[in-house]
Structure 1
Amino acid sequence: MAQLIHFDQLNHTFTLSNPQVTYIMEIVANHDLIHRYWGHPLTSYHFSNRPQLKKRTFAATPDPKQPELSPDFLPFECPIAFQGDYRSSTVQIQPLNAESPTRYHYQSYQIKTGAVDLPTLPHARESQAHSETLIITLYDDVAKVQLNLYYTIFADSAVIVRSVSVKNEGNQTIQIQRLLSASIDTPYDHQQLTTFHGTHQKEFQLDRTEIEHGTFRIGSSRGASGPQHPPYLALSQNATEFTGDVHALSLIYSGNHEASIERDQYDQLRLQIGLNSDTFTWNLAPGEAFQSPQALLNYSSNGFNGNSQNFHHFLTAHLLPPFWRQRKRPLLINSWEMSGFQVNDSLIRQLIDAASELGFEMVVLDDGWYHGRNNSQTSLGDWAPDQQKFPNGLKPLVTYAKQKGLQFGLWFEPEMISPKTALIKAHPDWVMRSQSYAPILGRGQYCLDLTNPAVQAFIIDTLSKTIDDLGLAYIKWDMNRHMTDPFSQSQHFMASEYTHRYWLGLYHVIDQLTTKYPQVLFENCSSGGGRLDPGMAYYFPQTWLSDNTDGFDRQQIQYGASYLFPPSTITGHISAIPNLQTGRSVPFTTRTALAASTNLGYEMPILDLTADQKKAIQNQLKVAKQERSLLTTSRFYRLQSPFTSDNCAWMFVTPTTVLIYAFNNRYHVDALTNLIKLPGLEPNALYQDCTTQQIYSGSELINCGLALPIIKGDFTVQKIKLTKLEMESD
């Protein structure tokens, strides 16, 4: 078994390396941990890129004998505040009732087999692949504070996992005022920065910008990762989808976060990611420890698509719930678009009948099923079936669905509470709010205080009882507002600790439920993709990507999300036209191609279909059952970007099958053809088009491309399926 981590005692270097990536650090002057390299695998390292430093005016010099070694420009692995490095720090810790900030020096290291287990946070999972973890200890001898820097590398992945823990070994309380999970220093060489912005119904919008002097920073202070700026940042130089170096950072966390890049006076770059320093501090009593979320450092020399495939493999192999990694997801019909809040027993029975006839595998009863829920302003927390809508409860419906060969799923919004409910009357202290001010409503609801163990127990017990009593196979877990008034009425800690404590509480709740019911499909949702991040992917194998189901807008949303998330982790539904969000009418074939590129479901009403419509859906579901395994067994390639043209195309590749979806959103009379090159195929293999029976060589599809005819009309799609026949003879 090849060693993944090595310490060179003579040169004082740590090297993490596998066939996909190398990461190198150096101990300088016996106490500073310096970053030297992160990128393409190296056979050996002899400091060829180490700069020749010289004394600089206005630069602090901790050692007068070596004025060229100044914190002002050294590329630190863990930069500390107030120590002469005036760039953004990773750690800022202040002993309470003391005027001195803490100061750390290298103390020791350990190399351990396996990954790091974080009991209270989502984290990279152990797998069959060999892994090793380097733990580097920095120590403050005065304040008696220990920093442990964790670096985990897997034999099968280009992603390196980093985090930091703080332990107070002194005799007084300290305050963590800033603690990021990863910091990388590298020279500026005209790279570009890639991030995403978004909003409700328009998530994962691609941004690519030049890097100017100063600091560029994104993140969330909303109490959730949010659609505005998901935790992702990438650095690239002349990279395309398939060529060039891309270094990307993400975070296994779902709360307030920040990601930044700083270009300093010496044209050095500092990339950082971690907890949002504007909304976080933490008091640490003597003997206590604090663990940061894990950061993901992802390098690829094969462009953005290669970087995405690294993320896709890592999330699948080392993050997703093991039960669902390779498992086919059920084809479902959701009640929401058909009925809204006006659901009832008769309507759902009709839906079950129609779903069974068409070939669905699951019926999901969305919002509106519980006591008094006739609009979005009421009833959250009173999780009992509405007696007027369901006089016999939900159990007979679940039984009826099973008799029809269908599984049954249910919608919840467990973290919320509505005013004027039985729950708020019984437990007014469960509301997230300040003691001094009235709580602020969002979407007509309040947040429950998940720092309160009693609230955690209520959610666990409520969902457990519902799953057990009904025999549910699916839970759609929604969250439809962000935090205001982040305070607890019953728990006593600083307000700046609240949001992270909330997430420790919510992670505990979700961990308990998903561990207890591993075979139940828990789907993450926050008005769509409002809380889609690697932290949630640890518990939820799939996420409802967006409330916007429009067949045009969805192309950008799905294309953008694929930079980080494999298609198997997102869900897309076929909805009615004109689309409820945009009023746009996109053909059925285009809407089905988009949904089939994710975990497929339906929203459109199916009770009053014509014979032709029924036949079309039956055929589509039949094909989807045959092809859905591609989501969990294929490599995904982006081929044409909807952010830069009227076309959008992507491809799924397995050892035997190639499936291409090519969307043309605007017809141009002067266009002759749409030529798409197909990387990722085997050059020496032959491929046959399953429709035309035409045979092509892999090398020509890679280099010459596949010419697609131009179809009249807007929002069209072409689906091409190729089968690999054999290797070409010499």
Structure 2
Amino acid sequence: MKRMRETGLIVAVALLSLVQPTAFAQPVTIPVETKHHALVLQTDANKNLGIVYMGAKLADKNEYTHVPAMYKQTAEYTGVANAAYATAGSRNLFEPAIAVTHVDGNNSLDLQYVRHDSKKLDENTSLLTVFLKDPVYNFEVTLYYKSWFNEDVTEQWSEIRHNEKGNVVLNKYASAGLYLKAGSYWLRQYHGDWAKEMQAEETRLTHGIKTLDSKLGTRANLFQPSVFMISLDKPATEDEGTVLYGALEWSGNFRVDLELDNQDNLRIMAGINNYASPYILKAGEVFTTPAFVSVLSSNGKGEASRKLHNWARNYKLLDGKGTRLTLLNNWEATYFDFNEAKLKELLKDTKKLGVDLFLLDDGWFANKYPRNDDKAGLGDWQENKKKLPNGISSLVQEAQANGVKFGIWIEPEMVNPKSELYEQHPDWVVKQPGRPEHYFRNQLVLDLSNPAVQDFVFNVVDGLFTKNPTLAYIKWDCNAVIYNAYAARLGNQSHFYIKYVQGLYAVLERIRKKYPTVPMMLCSGGGGRVDYAALQYFTEFWPSDNTDPLERIFMQWEYSYFYPAITSANHVTDWGKQPIKFRTDVAMMGKLGFDIVVSHLKEKDMTFCQEALKTYNAVKPIIWQGDQYRLQDPLTNAVAAVLYINKEKTTGVVFNYLVSNRYDAGSLLPIRFKGLDPAKKYTLKELNVYPGTTSTIDSSKVYSGEFLMKVGFNPDVKAGRNSVVLEVKAVG
């Protein structure tokens, strides 16, 4: 019996040697380098691929091989704690990036390095492809690292495939894994709700797992967006410290795991949320994860955001280097209560105000169940005959006659139970059979995993443009989350959340193929949906339904870390108690629009708005395409200040706002500028001066860039002068 056991052991060892890589193989070191930083991958003796370095770029690439030896931390029991794409079920003791169930029911996975390929896509962009394979199962993962040299930005994603004899279940399938070493880690994350978007929290990460996630299905960012920052060793400031920004390019359920391990190292796993979503992968099928974008800065949060802004405008955004339309929206002027005559008067006001476009909001459609409130009509996209007897086309023509363009609001992914669409196609609606319906804003979500629904949604947009070829703008809303997730025509319900988002993207691809240049706003009851995947189809997003300008200063500040000003749709409304100047000055820090009753404006307010629009049209290229420098944050100062300056450092705009109502609050001290040329001379001129008032700024004085950055300038912000916009101009 003993001899049989020994023989069996010898056979087992022999068999194991057939599937194990040759030990003590020469390590392969793979640096992913940008202008200032590097992510370095390296194989060990057993062909495990790990991350051995992420930080400032070294001049000598050969020295990356010395990095691991410099760390004398506690024992690492697994040999794969730093895995580039951590697996479950083998030796890994930490949170995996991927977990699977093979055809035979086995839950283990061991991905080993096979080869890699690196190529330059253009002078600034490179793509690294790394091939990994399980030595026992016919299962492969390909890792992609796309890097932009000048911007220090990297996208990571993965492709998962197998050729086993049957179906494999993907239980987790992250897009990316990162591994960081530092003395401590500080997470800046965001939370919110309707009208309270982008509320920031910063805490030191403690041992264990911190998870940022969403299970809402649609408008996935409502409670928690997928963007975050990690500061190394200490909380990064605007201009100091090492900080990593992360953002998942996915418009549905997401999950980001941040795990601080026993060695005090941090691993980050980001991807689609696997909640209720085990994915059945057929043999030969490829599952491609969405991209995770990151940027690393050694000089604080401001530098990181400017890098991300440049990358977004140049490489990711739809028409990122283009222009945008100013507009007048009718929503707060009329809500659902309007008719053709009232809208034609508003069209005249649009021209009088001086904006580019009139936007007709909710309430223009449905007849059997008229859209007179948010309880009925959603899904029935025919013009309401009582409100608009001559249809949308008459309004488009009226807009043209007034020298402005015309845009329209839609919410094509949603349906009211009180609608013809619901009556005709109950199987198109996301709802559980046999369970009571549960409504979000009196509506349900249409099942975009269904190709027939995808056709319907596409035809909503296509039909509007077919009838009205000169239609110039779409506001695309999405107000409901997904309750009772169930798709009547979907064979595997665990695929629903993924197929929904893929269906949405399929529709948007069709729309953009046919209408590549039409501006579209990504709206979602506020900022519930913005991400860099969606912004490949939409020209701008709506940060929040809360348009109180004081609240917007804080929201726009936080959004600006991740998204450039050209993407942020900011409207002047009647929210808040601030004067029209303050409201307009705040809205100018992005893509300006108005949602006010123009005819109710006082004469001076009207004059101010008209002149402010002219000023905005002159300076908007700087705001949209320039470098943003945050000078004083609203959280810790009585005055918030932000500077935008062009790449040549010759022209800039500074926005200054009083955000405190404390007695005598104001700009008591000079505000130091940033981003100027210290050797250049500059003048400062106040813009948006309200009619009948006189600026306290002497525009004839000349200051060196050095003076403005080291000493600063006092914009004289105080009660009664609570917003000051300055033009910075180089002279000589």
- Fold match by TM threshold 0.5: yes
Q: What is the deviation of 1:41?
A: 2.2
Q: Find the aligned partners of 2:153 and 2:503 in 1 and give their Cα distance.
A: 28
Q: CA 1:513 to 1:704, structure 2 compared with 1: closer, same or farther past 3 Å?
A: same
Structure 1 equivalent of residue 530 of structure 2: 532
Structure 1 equivalent of residue 305 of structure 2: 308
Q: Find the aligned partners of 1:198 and 1:438 in 2 and give their Cα distance.
A: 28
Q: Find the aligned partners of 1:498 and 1:97 in 2 and give their Cα distance.
A: 25
Structure 1 equivalent of residue 689 of structure 2: none
Q: Find the aligned partners of 2:608 and 2:418 in 1 and give their Cα distance.
A: 46
Q: CA 1:362 to 1:54, structure 2 compared with 1: closer, same or farther past 3 Å?
A: closer
Q: What is the deviation of 1:670?
A: 7.3
Structure 2 equivalent of residue 362 of structure 1: 357
Residue type at the aligned position of 1:618 = Q
Structure 1 equivalent of residue 505 of structure 2: 507
Instruction: Say if 2:438 is the partner of 1:440.
Output: yes
Write the deviation string for residues 474-519 of structure 1: whole angstroms up to 9, x where unpaired: 00000001111221111211x2211110000000101111221122
Q: Find the aligned partners of 2:73 and 2:534 in 1 and give their Cα distance.
A: 47
Task: Please identify, of 612-621 and 696-705, the stretch whose mean Cα deviation from structure 2 is larger.
Answer: 612-621
Structure 2 equivalent of residue 716 of structure 1: 722
Write the deviation string for residues 514-543 of structure 1: whole angstroms up to 9, x where unpaired: 221122101100012111111211111100
CA contact (8 A) 1:687 1:723 kept: yes
Structure 1 equivalent of residue 9 of structure 2: none
Structure 2 equivalent of residue 609 of structure 1: 601
Q: CA 1:668 to 1:436, structure 2 compared with 1: closer, same or farther past 3 Å?
A: same
CA contact (8 A) 1:109 1:136 kept: yes
Structure 2 equivalent of residue 124 of structure 1: none
Structure 2 equivalent of residue 695 of structure 1: 702
Task: Please identify, of 564-573 and 355-364, the stretch whose mean Cα deviation from structure 2 is larger.
Answer: 355-364
Structure 1 equivalent of residue 95 of structure 2: 88
Task: Give ranges in structure 2 of 5+ residues lacking alignment.
Answer: 1-24, 687-697
Instruction: Say if 2:367 is the partner of 1:373.
Output: no
Q: What is the deviation of 1:646?
A: 2.8
What are the within-5 Å matches in structure 2 for residues 644-659 of structure 1? 644-654=636-646, 655=648, 656-659=650-653
Q: Find the aligned partners of 2:362 and 2:677 in 1 and give their Cα distance.
A: 47
Task: Please identify, of 92-101 and 634-643, the stretch whose mean Cα deviation from structure 2 is larger.
Answer: 92-101
Structure 2 equivalent of residue 38 of structure 1: 54
User: Aligned match of 1:677 in 664, 672, 679?
Assistant: 672
What are the within-5 Å matches in structure 2 for residues 27-106 of structure 1? 27-45=43-61, 46=63, 47-51=65-69, 59-60=77-78, 70-71=79-80, 74-106=81-113
Write the deviation string for residues 188-215 of structure 1: whole angstroms up to 9, x where unpaired: 4123111111111111111111111111
Residue type at the aligned position of 2:612 = Q
CA contact (8 A) 1:206 1:560 kept: yes
Q: Find the aligned partners of 1:523 and 1:264 in 2 and give their Cα distance.
A: 42
Q: What is the deviation of 1:151?
A: 0.7
CA contact (8 A) 2:410 2:476 kept: yes
User: Aligned match of 1:158 in 152, 163, 177?
Assistant: 152
SS at match of 2:714: strand
User: Aligned match of 2:240 in 222, 243, 246?
Assistant: 243
Q: CA 1:551 to 1:56, structure 2 compared with 1: closer, same or farther past 3 Å?
A: closer
Q: What is the deviation of 1:55?
A: 11
Q: What is the deviation of 1:255?
A: 0.7
Q: What is the deviation of 1:152?
A: 0.9
Instruction: Say if 2:280 is the partner of 1:273.
Output: no
CA contact (8 A) 2:522 2:541 kept: yes
CA contact (8 A) 1:473 1:519 kept: no
Q: Find the aligned partners of 2:309 and 2:665 in 1 and give their Cα distance.
A: 38
Structure 2 equivalent of residue 404 of structure 1: 402
User: Aligned match of 2:447 in 446, 449, 452?
Assistant: 449
SS at match of 1:629: helix
Q: CA 1:144 to 1:720, structure 2 compared with 1: closer, same or farther past 3 Å?
A: same
Residue type at the aligned position of 2:632 = Q
Q: Find the aligned partners of 1:483 and 1:398 in 2 and give their Cα distance.
A: 34
CA contact (8 A) 1:80 1:91 kept: yes
Structure 2 equivalent of residue 190 of structure 1: 184
Residue type at the aligned position of 1:516 = K
SS at match of 2:506: helix
User: Aligned match of 1:707 in 693, 704, 714?
Assistant: 714
Instruction: Say if 2:117 is the partner of 1:110.
Output: yes
Q: What is the deviation of 1:19?
A: 1.7
What are the within-5 Å matches in structure 2 for residues 592-603 of structure 1? 592-603=584-595
Residue type at the aligned position of 2:268 = L
Q: What is the deviation of 1:607?
A: 2.4
Q: Find the aligned partners of 1:220 and 1:277 in 2 and give their Cα distance.
A: 10
Q: CA 1:199 to 1:646, structure 2 compared with 1: closer, same or farther past 3 Å?
A: farther
Structure 2 equivalent of residue 352 of structure 1: 347
CA contact (8 A) 2:103 2:164 kept: no
Residue type at the aligned position of 1:132 = S
Q: Find the aligned partners of 2:254 and 2:352 in 1 and give their Cα distance.
A: 47
Structure 1 equivalent of residue 487 of structure 2: 488
User: Aligned match of 1:638 in 609, 627, 630?
Assistant: 630
Q: What is the deviation of 1:186?
A: 1.8
RMSD: 1.9
Q: Find the aligned partners of 2:302 and 2:417 in 1 and give their Cα distance.
A: 47
SS at match of 1:631: helix
Q: What is the deviation of 1:176?
A: 0.5
Q: Find the aligned partners of 2:476 and 2:717 in 1 and give their Cα distance.
A: 42
Residue type at the aligned position of 1:725 = V
Residue type at the aligned position of 2:97 = T
Instruction: Say if 2:541 is the partner of 1:543.
Output: yes
The structure with the largest helix share of the pair is 2
What are the within-5 Å matches in structure 2 for residues 663-674 of structure 1? 663-666=657-660, 667-669=662-664, 673-674=668-669
Q: CA 1:499 to 1:549, structure 2 compared with 1: closer, same or farther past 3 Å?
A: same
Q: What is the deviation of 1:25?
A: 0.9
Q: CA 1:19 to 1:227, structure 2 compared with 1: closer, same or farther past 3 Å?
A: same
Structure 1 equivalent of residue 581 of structure 2: 589
SS at match of 1:209: strand
CA contact (8 A) 1:188 1:263 kept: no
Q: CA 1:361 to 1:670, structure 2 compared with 1: closer, same or farther past 3 Å?
A: closer
Q: What is the deviation of 1:113?
A: 3.7
Q: What is the deviation of 1:23?
A: 1.7
SS at match of 2:652: strand
TM-score normalised by the chain length of structure 2: 0.90
What are the within-5 Å matches in structure 2 for residues 510-521 of structure 1? 510-521=508-519
Residue type at the aligned position of 2:607 = K
Structure 1 equivalent of residue 19 of structure 2: none
User: Aligned match of 1:137 in 131, 140, 147?
Assistant: 131
SS at match of 2:549: coil
CA contact (8 A) 1:256 1:279 kept: no
Q: Find the aligned partners of 2:26 and 2:149 in 1 and give their Cα distance.
A: 26
CA contact (8 A) 2:359 2:406 kept: yes
Q: CA 1:609 to 1:112, structure 2 compared with 1: closer, same or farther past 3 Å?
A: same
Q: Find the aligned partners of 2:376 and 2:549 in 1 and give their Cα distance.
A: 32
CA contact (8 A) 2:590 2:624 kept: no
CA contact (8 A) 1:247 1:298 kept: yes
Q: Find the aligned partners of 1:210 and 1:663 in 2 and give their Cα distance.
A: 30
Task: Give ranges in structure 1 of 5+ residues lacking alignment.
Answer: 1-8, 61-69, 115-127
Write the deviation string for residues 201-249 of structure 1: whole angstroms up to 9, x where unpaired: 1111111111111111111110133132211222113321012211121
Q: CA 1:550 to 1:43, structure 2 compared with 1: closer, same or farther past 3 Å?
A: same
Task: Please identify, of 275-284 and 502-511, the stretch whose mean Cα deviation from structure 2 is larger.
Answer: 275-284
Structure 1 equivalent of residue 613 of structure 2: 621
CA contact (8 A) 2:717 2:723 kept: no
SS at match of 2:216: coil
CA contact (8 A) 1:218 1:229 kept: yes
Structure 2 equivalent of residue 21 of structure 1: 37
Q: CA 1:89 to 1:210, structure 2 compared with 1: closer, same or farther past 3 Å?
A: same
Structure 2 equivalent of residue 476 of structure 1: 475
Instruction: Say if 2:335 is the partner of 1:340.
Output: yes
Task: Please identify, of 222-231 and 328-337, the stretch whose mean Cα deviation from structure 2 is larger.
Answer: 222-231
Q: Find the aligned partners of 1:349 and 1:557 in 2 and give their Cα distance.
A: 34
What are the within-5 Å matches in structure 2 for residues 536-575 of structure 1? 536-575=534-573
SS at match of 1:247: strand
Q: Find the aligned partners of 1:670 and 1:573 in 2 and give their Cα distance.
A: 27
SS at match of 1:199: coil
SS at match of 2:408: strand
